[in-house]
Amino acid sequence: MYSPVLSVPAPAAAARVAEADPRYARTWLSIVSQGDGTEAARELYQALYTLNRVAVRAPARMELMALYDRALATIAQRLPPQDAGPPLAAHKRRFAEFARRLHVEMAYGYKCCLRDLSRARLSLGRKTRSAACIGRTLHHLTEVLLRSYAAYLPYPAGVWREIHELYRLAEKLDAADAPQQIPEEGAPRPATIREGYLQALLLGLADPYQLPQQSVPQLRALLSRESGRARLLAPGARPAPRESRAWFVIDPTADAPPFPFARGFRELPAGARFLDTSALLELLQERAASLQRGEPMGPEAPGFDCPGDAGLDLIRRLIRAWGEAARRRYARQQRSGGLHVCIGLDALHFVAAGERTFHAFLEICREPLPAPAVDAGVDFVELDGAGDLRDAAALPEPRDAPVSRDRWRVRDASPQGMAIACHGGVQTSMRVGELIGVRYATDHARWQPAVVRWLKTPEPGSVEAGLELLAADMTAAAARFADGQRDVTCPVLRLPANDVVPRPATLLLPRGAVPVGAELELLEEDAAPRRVRLLRLIERTGSFEQMVYGESAKNSRRGR
């Protein structure tokens, strides 16, 4: 069984010779697999590229693909990891694209097998072998997605359309739940085509372009263990309106992952079906609650080794992605224009303080800290629960790092965010969750704080990013513990409340510097010191924390 939706390379004259006899190919692959990882991968790719473009007998091609699958699994364990964020250096980008191309060629090989099986005269064993080819093609196309997400590269056009078509073919063969014989040893893998399809769907819904660097291996491990908790509805079945919180629509003809099913949604694409993630969502919510209580991850936890705050942050992001994510309040409008960007909390503090280093800023606003006093009548603004309290840690000494400003272009914008791009000349690496400052080239005064929500590197030397604007303005400040016993200060940014979004007044602090519930004294230029207490953690990323704060009643008594 074959489909015209599935692409295969056109026949071409071979520039190299590849062994088409499985008996001799087995010996050659066993030798190549033991060599240097990168060089062995290149040898494997070149031979596979040739085989996919020349005529090979159908039984021999099936056997060859199984041999190449085992060899690739062995070689992949010795390939260097993708551990660099965008913008990728030229050689790292080439390697990331090459590693992805390996799986593209593997998928081509299995699709060629499907094509050959559809042309075969004898039908004996055709269903079983076709199901095996569908499962392996689906696996390698999912690997193409994983490699793209890990390096923040756009995935190739047509990948999602082929993934949907492969599952349609498996259902037509009544083989979606047939056990799969997978050649890899020790690698996480689906047991059935249905599980493999669910893994791909959940991967697309997670949108790893919005996840911090190095999250893809953890996400992959989680999906390999828990994807079966998601449920795929039969075509034509619809959830009840009150049950639409964790439902997503799959358009089998679209080159795109599923999208959220909105309440009141009436028109569906032809052949659309639904994905239910409620059971998976409940598991993650239970695990998040356990981590908040300080319970360690046990063997029954979701299948990834991501302890502490990093694991909790990833689980929270997946809950938003696989649940009812917040809808965009404002439509994006196409815009163009230059944009200045500075990256990191230290850089934002520098520009917010009038382009003064933190130590120079302290000289202007530092005042003697009064002795601690006991005041049982101090009241605080209770905006929410105080959250989890951690042991107070010493505030880190800030670095007087120079500000790096790259020239970017705005692609579209709304009151809450914008999409920006820089083609060439990106000097500073950027990560998802990074705190940055943006200022239009025509506005030489106002910088706005923002956080990077997604990243892509569409071509060498270019980066595209999606930003969420945190506030229209910011005030530079210094924070120190109010007990007077630790005269250690760190840079913070005070963001005003926003009644439109709405958002309370918050502080941006270095990650891990101060626990929720701590009482601090804020020092600002041309303002008297004031005491505040950190009430609630809104967000924690790899570079900063955003917390709601309340002011002490003692501040108001000082002004009387």
- Per-residue pLDDT tens over the stretch 438-492: 988 887 778 999 999 999 888 887 889 999 999 989 999 999 887 765 566 889 9
Where does residue 301 rank: exposed (0-12), middle (13-18), buried (19+ CB within 10 A)? buried
* Per-residue confidence (pLDDT) for residue 425, from 0 to 100: 64
The two tokens of residue 270 are 């032809």
| pLDDT cut 90: percent of the chain above it | 41
- CA–CA distance from 32 to each of 27, 28, 38, 72, 236 (Å)? 9, 6, 11, 10, 49
> pLDDT at residue 405 above 60?
no
8 Å CB contact between 10 and 166: no
DSSP alpha helix (H) spans, 124-208: 126-150, 159-172, 193-206
8 Å CB contact between 246 and 281: yes
Average of pLDDT values for 396-423?
A: 72
* pLDDT grade for 89, boundaries at 50, 70 and 90: confident
Average of pLDDT values for 276-282?
A: 91
HEC string of 327-365 equals: CCCCCCEECCCEEEEEECHHHHHHHHCCCCCHHHHHHHH
* Per-residue confidence (pLDDT) for residue 481, from 0 to 100: 85
Average of pLDDT values for 505-524?
A: 90
* Per-residue confidence (pLDDT) for residue 348, from 0 to 100: 92
> pLDDT at residue 384 above 70?
no
* Per-residue confidence (pLDDT) for residue 415, from 0 to 100: 79
Radius of gyration of the chain (CA): 27
> Does residue 449 have a cis peptide bond before it, meaning omega lies within 30 degrees of 0?
no
The two tokens of residue 290 are 């356990």
Q: Are strands 338-343 and 405-413 parallel, antiparallel or unpaired?
A: antiparallel
Average of pLDDT values for 336-347?
A: 87
Where does residue 420 rank: exposed (0-12), middle (13-18), buried (19+ CB within 10 A)? buried
Question: What is the Cα–Cα distance from 284 to 429, expressed in whole angstroms?
Answer: 31
8 Å CB contact between 321 and 374: no
> pLDDT at residue 244 above 80?
no
Q: What is the mean pLDDT of the chain?
A: 81
Average of pLDDT values for 124-131?
A: 87
Q: Which amino acid is at 34?
A: Q
Instruction: Give every CB contact of residue 431 below 8 A, 6+ residues apart in sequence.
Output: 85, 212, 213, 452, 455, 542, 543
CA dihedral 465, 468, 470, 472 (to 10 degrees): 80
Instruction: Give every CB contact of residue 213 below 8 A, 6+ residues apart in sequence.
Output: 83, 85, 431, 432
Q: Is the model more confident about 291 or about 424?
A: 291
Which of 508, 505, 467 lies closest to 348 in space, CA to CA? 508
* Per-residue confidence (pLDDT) for residue 78, from 0 to 100: 85
DSSP alpha helix (H) spans, 11-57: 22-32, 37-51
The two tokens of residue 48 are 């596979």
The two tokens of residue 556 are 């108001």
SS3 of the chain: helix, strand, coil, percent, to 5:
35, 20, 45
> Does residue 510 have a cis peptide bond before it, meaning omega lies within 30 degrees of 0?
no
Per DSSP, the three-state class of 545 is strand
> pLDDT at residue 329 above 60?
no
* Per-residue confidence (pLDDT) for residue 468, from 0 to 100: 92
Question: What is the Cα–Cα distance from 445 to 51, expressed in whole angstroms?
Answer: 61
Can you name the residues that pair with 479 across neighbouring β-strands? 490, 522
* Per-residue confidence (pLDDT) for residue 450, from 0 to 100: 95
Average of pLDDT values for 538-544?
A: 86
Per DSSP, the three-state class of 284 is helix
CA dihedral 30, 31, 37, 38 (to 10 degrees): -110
Q: Is the model more confident about 431 or about 336?
A: 431
- Which of 14-28, 182-196, 364-378, 379-393 has the highest mean predicted lDDT (pLDDT)? 14-28
Instruction: Give every CB contact of residue 315 below 8 A, 6+ residues apart in sequence.
Output: 284, 287, 288, 291, 302
Residue tagged 């697309």 (tokens): 204
- How many CA atoms lie less than 13 Å away from 267 in the CB half-sphere? 0
> pLDDT at residue 553 above 80?
no
* Per-residue confidence (pLDDT) for residue 401, from 0 to 100: 45
> pLDDT at residue 13 above 90?
no
The two tokens of residue 79 are 């390939």
Per-residue pLDDT tens over the stretch 152-190? 999 999 999 999 999 999 999 999 998 876 555 444 556
